[in-house]
Structure formats: structure tokens, C-alpha cells
Amino acid sequence: MTETVLDFNHVSKKFGRFQALDSVSFQIKRGDIYGLIGENGAGKTTIMKLITKISPLRTGSISLFGESTSNYQQALKRTGAMIESPAAFNSLTVIQNLKVIAKQNGIQSKTAIDDTIEFVGLSKKRKTKAKHLSLGQKQRLGLAFAILPHPDFLILDEPINGLDPSGIIEIRKLLYKLNHEQQTTILISSHILTELYQVSTKFGFIHHGKFIKEVTKEELDKEKESGILLDVDDVAKASEVLDSSNVKPFSIQNDHSIFVKDNHLNTGNLSQLLIMNGVALNGMTKQEGSLEQYYTQLMKKTDEGEK
């Protein structure tokens, strides 16, 4: 059986009266690249801070590599994390910063530092002070801090924030390499869902502090829907026409758009049908099923269920 790296079990967290997490449970298995998805303020960083003990746990239980939070020291040594803005010593250079981290972790080998700098693409900036690094370069330095001790479990909060397109591709390759060559298990959050889709093997959705759903990439690929997104003036009228013409299934996305799932009609047939029935059609887009669309649908269903 695959080892459970993280067992997050009915964890709740309050800040004052505010319920940031509400009985959240999920597990991460060895070898997973687990994408955590949720809106701003959903609770992703709070989860990561609880795992790494930056934030104290009061309700629920967390175990890491089989050790419970109360006695976690070995498990934390096997875990690397980059949570929120990477905290570097600004007046130290890249290499000096990494020497500090190496010392903290009892790493003697100089090549480990050089390899890490090269791995994250900062070779040309090794003698640059942290305060003079660009946002993307600081992200890379934060990543270097997290991976220097060769963790078995890596926690990354928005690691591609501020990276340029080539930087994003490099980080994707790097995570793939860590996961495939060093069997590093990864928990990662990002608002860039196209990217998260490419790297992750499993997805957990969190909404207003509640864990909503978990899917593997294979399940997501089966479930995500492709179809045509219609932009119309009158959603009620358009849905009546679709309904009476048996164009199903479709779903109303908001007050001007309707998503029609793949069916026998193509865009030409569909626009003809709507226009002939007096629906003002402002646009239509063919959509391939995506994580973004899956997420939007899931949140819509969840909000409707909560009403």
C-alpha cells in the first residue's frame, strides 16, 4: 500500500471568531503532486502553516510521515516549505543566504549549495544580494531554501507567483524532476490553474474554509466538460429555446452566458437556432474542458447547494 505522507484529519481553525477552516480532512500519498485550489482567503495558506507548525493546531489532528503533530520533529526535517513570500536575508547574497540555510540544516557539502543554485536557475545571481533580486528571482531563491535539504515532502504556496512564462516552465520541469527523480511528494497551491493542471496528479478543492472535493487527474479528465459558451442578451429566453429544441444538457453560468455541453449541434447550427428564435447572440466560444472550467462549475454548484 502507498505510504500516507500527510493525514489532515477534521482540522478546524479560528482566528478570533472567524472560522478559517471548518473540519477539513484530506490525505496525501507518497509520490502525489497535490494541487490545492481555492479562491483568495479559502484557507490554503492556513492549511500549509498548520502542517509546518507555523500556526498552532487546536482542533483536529495532523500526522506527517506517520508522526502526529505533538511529536513531529523528524517528520518536519523531511519537509521543505515555501509559504507566502520567501524570507531571505536581504543584505546577504544568494550564496550566503543558502549557506545560512545549509548550516541550519546541518548540510556540509558545498556542492549541495551549488547544485541547488543551478537547479533553480540562479547561477548568474549567486553573488547578488537578495534585496537586488527581481520578484521571480526571489521566488526561485525561496524554492532553493525549500529544496536544499532534499526534502521528501515539499510544500509550495504560490511558487510561480511573479515568474515570467519561461520561469513558469522551468519551475514545472523542476517539480517534475524532483517528483520523478527524487520521489518528492509535493503539496502546491496556485491560482494559475492551467499550470497547476499540468503539474498535479491530484486536486483538492477548498471553498470558504471547507474541503469540497478531491479528484485525481484521471477522474478530472473524464469529468471536465467540453462544449460551447454562449454570450446572450436574454438568458431566460435562450434557455427556453434550448430546452424546447432539446439541446441538452446546458447550464446557466451568469446573467449573460450559458454553457452548452458537447452534443450533435455545431456552432453554426446553434447560432442559427438561437437567432431564428429571436435570441440576440453576442458571441460564442468553443471550450475544451479545463481545470478552470471544472473549478468554476464546482464552485457554482457548491454555492447553489449552500443557499
Ligand X SMILES: Nc1ncnc2c1ncn2[C@@H]1O[C@H](COP(=O)(O)OP(=O)(O)OP(=O)(O)O)[C@@H](O)[C@H]1O
Binding site for ligand X (CB under 6 A): 15, 18, 20, 38, 40-46
Smallest gap from residue 26 Cβ to ligand X (A): 14
Nearest Cα to Cα of residue 28 among 149, 116, 198, 156? 156
- Give the C-alpha separation, 294 to 14, whole Å: 29
For residue 23, the minimal CB distance to ligand X (Å) is 15
Q: How far is the CB of 183 from ligand X (least distance, A)?
A: 27
Residue 64 · residue 72 · CB < 8 Å: yes
The distance of closest approach from Cβ of residue 194 to ligand X in the complex, given in angstroms and rounded to an integer, is 17
Nearer to ligand X, 46 or 63 (CB): 46
Q: Minimum CB separation from ligand X for residue 264, in Å?
A: 40
Instruction: Return the number of the residue (62 or 117) whose C-beta is nearest ligand X.
Output: 62
Nearer to ligand X, 40 or 254 (CB): 40
Minimum Å distance from CB 46 to ligand X?
Answer: 3
Q: Which is nearer to ligand X, 44 or 224 (CB)?
A: 44
The least distance separating ligand X from the CB of residue 279, rounded to whole angstroms, comes to 37
- Cβ-based nearer residue to ligand X, 45 or 116: 45
Residue 18 or 268 with smaller CB distance to ligand X: 18
HEC states along the chain?
CCCEEEEEEEEEEEECCEEEEEEEEEEEECCCEEEEECCCCCCHHHHHHHHCCCCCCCEEEEEECCEEHHHCHHHHHCEEEECCCCCCCCCCEHHHHHHHHHHHCCCCCHHHHHHHHHHCCCHHHCCCEHHHCCHHHHHHHHHHHHHCCCCCEEEEECCCCCCCHHHHHHHHHHHHHHHHHCCCEEEEECCCHHHHHHHCCEEEEEECCEEEEEEEHHHHHHHCCCEEEEEECCHHHHHHHHHHCCCCCEEEEECCEEEEECCCCCHHHHHHHHHHCCCCEEEEEEECCCHHHHHHHHHHHHHHHHC
Say if CB 219 and CB 204 are below 8 A apart.
no
We find the least distance from the C-beta atom of residue 214 to ligand X, in angstroms, to be 16
Closer CB to ligand X, residue 45 or residue 79?
45
Q: Which is nearer to ligand X, 22 or 262 (CB)?
A: 22
